[in-house]
Amino acid sequence: MAARVDAVFADYASADGPGCSVGVIRNGRLVHAAGYGSANLEYGVPNGPATIYRIASVSKQFTAGAIALLALRGEVDLDATVQRYIPEFPDYPDPPAVRHLVHHTSGVRDYLGLFSLAGNRSEDFITNRDILDAITRQRELNFPPGSEYLYSNSGYVLLGEIVARVTGQSLREFAKAEFFDPLGMPHTHFHDDHNEVVPNRATGYSPTESGFRINMTTLDVVGDGGIYTSVEEWAAWDRNLTKGTVGGPDWVALMHERGVLTSGDTIPYAFGLSHGEHQGLATVGHGGSWVGYRTGMSRYPGTGHSFVALCNRSRIDPMSLIASTAEIYLEDAMDPPEDVAAGEAEEAADEDAPEAPPDHDIPHRTRYAGSFHSPELDATYRIVEEGAAGLTLHVGRRDPVTLAAEADGQLTIEGGTIFRFSELVGGRYGAMMVDAGRVKNLRFARTEG
């Protein structure tokens, strides 16, 4: 078994590069653990089962777990509005409830998208206070609460803030007292100070043409991410998701309770955990991706097995790695993999065909040029005429970006952000609306030119 798992992680086993730690848990006990590659390339420190990683969005289940604990104690009402606990939260006509935040059905715009759109870079320093200020400036939701599922990191920052305001403790303090100390996880914590020394921590890296570069974060933000833990300590948390040593059986049941849309449809997302299926077996898991860290966990409740992979190299797919590991341990319980039908293979080949290059030759470009301001972003966009027919977008501290024509009155940039222009007055557009993934219908008005 160990040799077959080693083969799965072989591409990341060299001491010359960062890699992963993997854990296999059966009935709450760590039955296999190994490390691959280096935790620190400067000092040649290897990854191992005790190596500490930032686990990114896999952290969400701890924030949700804290909310579930408070809900069962009667200290948080899942169906109460967010504004009950955070009074400065915008007074929307159709206000989202705490439960909507848990299941990503609130419609609250994602703060990572907002800060990126405002011209910030991933390495810029922001705090939970900065995020709350950005959220409270928003005057619209992406959609009516409960009507759709759209992943939002903002929702989990808000949940962490609710924990702090209800308990009088920081999310870090609450999680340590209620989860990590009782479960025997002494090194696991919400990392709310990026300057704090973390013994045995893996450095995050990203590949370059000549090797690797350090890719860490200055964010002190917790709630949507921020947990540091190891494969060894993960086993204790995994046991609690079954046994409810902390929280009891009602907590375990609530953690696995899926969200329900206003249409009556049930979604896979529960409390920081997502239900799925793998070759005939039910799964519950979550992945994480931030700076140079990639992480994933997947539980197979029907078999008593769980798998976790924590990696310190971007461009790794840990969920795929643990799926392959699960197939080694659970091959006798799984359905055989389905063959891809010829028609499906042809369709996949068509999807891989190269797309037509974007059209940077924009007609009527003077209609777009000028400055547009969004009070919700507290940012101004400058659209500048470049060369014979092109336009570039200038915002904040980010490098200028080339715009492309999507349709008449509609521009786009690489990555899929759409700019929809309206109110053509005096030969120039007076307003625009921006859609960018987890941020929709962001309004801008022309300020000059």
Cite the active site residues.
57
Task: Give SS3 for 10.
Answer: helix
The CA distance from 152 to 104, in Å, is 6
In this structure, how many other beta carbons lie within 10 angstroms of the beta carbon of residue 426?
A: 6
Residue 59: CB partners within 8 Å, gap ≥ 6? 190, 222, 223, 224, 225, 226, 227, 272, 288
Task: Give SS3 for 437.
Answer: coil
The CA distance from 153 to 160, in Å, is 11
The CA distance from 444 to 449, in Å, is 14
DSSP 194-241: TTS--TTBPPPEEE-SSSEEE--------SSS-EEE-HHHHHHHHHHH
- CA gyration radius, the chain: 23
b/e map 95-127, b = 16+ CB within 10 Å: bbbbbbbbbbbbbbbbbbbbbbbbbbeeebebe
Tracing tokens 């992979």 back to the chain, one arrives at: 309
Q: Pull the structure tokens for residue 349.
A: 């080949």
